[in-house]
Structure 1
């Protein structure tokens, strides 16, 4: 009988140690080391790896071509994946509990089953009856969609060989286990070995696999970081369970861009695609209000208009608060410093709150000018015609309004939504063509932009 030994493995990064440590030497995280039992080699053989028959050759002679993709029947999901689901790809989707991960993959699985053939849905957290109840509610019933409640990876592999599905869903990867390993499901050893099994199956059979993963309290992907490196695509579902909108982002994508987003609305019948996010996000906007303004951003190839709100109020705690939702707090502090130094606004004794309506996060510097104008409007009590004006531009430390990329695309989106005026960097004017229905008001510095609010 083989001698049984134990080792301690970090559940965050996979670092191994013969003894317990309070802090992992690999990732410096505290209390992440857990004991796992190790048996002899005679009792456990690792899953066979994918055997490749290719030989080294000059890169110029390698044939390149487009990947074969499945249409998931969900346009927003196709957009984030880069055009569809690549055959043989491993896709990991994460998000907070109740955000809609299982709903999305069940809708996608039903659509693929109806269009391409057998789909296997493996659930380690719900019974077949629970999955059927959700499918009835979502109207996602297909005769070629097979469901099973199982966590043993060896048994699951037998089902895959028996059904030969064109698409496999695993919900969730942290519940899988392999009998030969003594560690608990969700541990580093179990997750790595089970995912390696699935990767071998997917790559050798050219079958795409969707893996659902849990997240930590901080919203990060639970389990070892090596999991993200093993898969081809990592998707993340954002949003609040109390809000209607859900945003799907690609954090990693070997077959497409990571800058695209998919926007969904959670309804009783499931996740409904939002093809025009700007119209949905601006639907409840008031005619005019102090501290509210419409700004633009670009997510991949899609321009999006969102409402940004600012509230400036006298502080009562002795130390002013700076709170930002949907905006980088460091960027907010930079803009506040420019307003104080260059514009002479006495904001040192005021609390400042910034919120982007709808749960959208403003990436880049597109919204700098809008943030400054909203803060100024709230501080002075000057209303802004929110349904008429949009602001786009980056603010430098010298209070100059700098150019931003893809400005013409964002202005045309504002024109399509019926806005009448756009405040933008004057330096971008030469790059704008074909704009007829919206008045272009170029500004060189922050002083000119703030004066425009007072005069209009």
Structure 2
């Protein structure tokens, strides 16, 4: 009896099963599991097509020799690959130095976070650069330009394929973000064969497909965005990218829990997976590389979302501070650098980048039976633990007070190294003693009241000195660090840290 190829797939998360269920066990949605049929794979058995009198082993050997040969690793040559710049230094750093030819990059993020805007602006930058380079090459050597083949001539274009918007809608957005270029080609289609034909016809310097969940292959069954369709679309685009050595950007949707929609195979197939993150209430956007075959995965790119598009933020220090740190003796800073009680700055790590995070706290007398704890950018359970440690080992009782603790500009202070700054802000608000604007606090607080060391402390301190901080309260250092212009104060307990910060 032939095995049934009927599958049931959830339209929300892509979960599949050979049996139908009313509720998807992966995402918990009701009525989203639908039936579709897997296509039968075409037979490629070489032994069946062998000529009479030839064995299967001979046929297999001829196929292997015709397709490829195994080469000793010592004889494999490594050619220098010229990466393509995106026009954003932050984007290039996340990718490992630029776009590798023939690579497939998946950009995923929440709806409305700015994925399409980022890629359309990137397409405009690359289209502008490749057109300028092609014009310069033709002017430098007119004879070579006349003899250039069609493939090289077509590499001066960028192709943007959208399955979600029409060409007119894309043009309106491109006009708003100043990405209108004559060699930026727009196409609106949801058919995979049409998209592949456009890439093969134009052979652009970069192809962008927005998005992988909207493109449908007519060769396989399944709903749009389903497990089978996404797998087929990704495989076909990857084969085309590798064959023509064309980099391809894929836009990926995410589920309501933040995971990339579709099968997990999609993330395994592509070369680079980037998450575009941000808070809808702020303009700050973060680009992180979750997987990268051509570079590190701990780099973070910072962007600022505005009405004119997306702008890169090469120095995001000012985004996370309420007021810039500057010399208190300067006339321009007399009114802006007044220290306020209840604030403290720490240095947190996000990948390789050290970012300043300002913690603000407000302590009030509670009129409720259970005091209120309100946080923003800080873990509530972590705050409860630090309040207990502050009472037991710091001598400051806040258990009966309403506490409001927040970070500035949507920063996240959930790293253990931010503990000392949170406690310092609470102590400053409770005692109504401000902490100097040029002082930062870095350290993890244990339940015993001791200040524990944090990773890459020297990197944090050097970034603090670069931003203009003159004092830093840190744990006892195993290796002494000397930084010009920065006074490093080492403390062992939470009581010592509070005395050093509030004196």
TM-score, L = length of structure 1: 0.87
Is 1:340 the equivalent of 2:391? Answer: yes
Residue of structure 1 in register with 2:129 after alignment: 115
1:39 shift after superposition? 6.1
Whole-angstrom distance in 2 between the partners of 1:64 and 1:310: 56
Query: Does the 8 A contact of 2:357 with 2:413 survive in 1?
Result: no
1:349 aligns with 2:400: yes
Q: Which residue is 2:138 aligned to?
A: none
Change (3 A) 1:390 1:113: same
Residues 1:432 and 2:484 are matched in the alignment:
no
- Matches of 1:311 and 1:426, distance apart in 2: 29
Q: Is 2:439 the counterpart of 1:389? A: yes
Query: How far is the alpha carbon of 1:123 from its aligned partner?
Result: 0.7
Matched residue, 1:163: 202
Please list the CA deviations of residues 137-157 of structure 1 after superposition, one character each: whole Å capped at 9, or x if unmatched: 222122221110111001111
* Structure 2, unpaired ranges of 5+: 45-63, 131-155, 325-336
> 2:417 maps to what in 1?
366
Equivalent residues of 1:176, 1:194 under 8 A apart = yes
Deviations 1:95-149 (CA, angstroms, capped at 9, x unpaired): 2233221111111112222333221100111111111122122221222211101
Task: Kindly indicate whether residue 5 of structure 2 is the aligned counterpart of residue 14 of structure 1.
Answer: no
* Aligned CA distance change for structure 1 residues 443 and 87 (closer, same or farther; 3 Å): same
- Tell which deviates more after alignment, 117-126 or 297-306: 297-306
1:331 to partner: Cα distance = 3.8
Contact 1:249–1:260 under 8 Å retained in 2: yes
Contact map agreement 2:9 2:36 (CA 8 A) in 1:
no
Unaligned runs of at least 5 residues, structure 1: none
Measured against aligned partners, the alpha-carbon deviations of 1:411-434 in whole angstroms (never above 9, x if no partner) come to 232222222221112325x4313x
Go from structure 1 to structure 2 and tell me whether the alpha carbon gap of 1:323 and 1:251 turns closer, same or farther (over 3 Å shift). Answer: farther
CA distance in 1, matches of 2:68, 2:385: 54
Give the drift of 1:247.
1.7
1:37-77 CA-partner distances (Å, limit 9, x unpaired): 216638x899xxxx995666777776667754211111010
Distance 1:32 1:343 in 2: 55
1:305-346, CA deviations, whole angstroms, 9 ceiling, x for partnerless residues? Answer: 121122334455544454443334454344333223322443
Please tell me whether residue 326 in structure 1 is matched to residue 377 in structure 2.
Answer: yes
Q: Cα RMSD (Å) of the superposition? A: 3.1
Partner of 2:100: 86
User: In 2, are the aligned partners of 1:36 and 1:182 still within 8 Å (CA)?
Assistant: no
Cα 1:278/1:40, change in 2 over 3 Å? closer
* 2:263 is aligned with 1:224: yes
Range with bigger deviation, 226-235 or 147-156: 226-235
Find the aligned partners of 2:370 and 2:80 in 1 and give their Cα distance. 57
Query: How many residues are aligned here?
Result: 444
Residue pair 1:382, 1:453 contacting (<8 A) in 2 also:
no
Q: CA 1:94/1:319 → structure 2, altered by over 3 Å: closer, same or farther? A: farther
Q: Secondary structure at the match of 2:213?
A: helix
| 292, 313, 317: which one aligns with 2:343 | 292
Equivalence for 1:179: 218
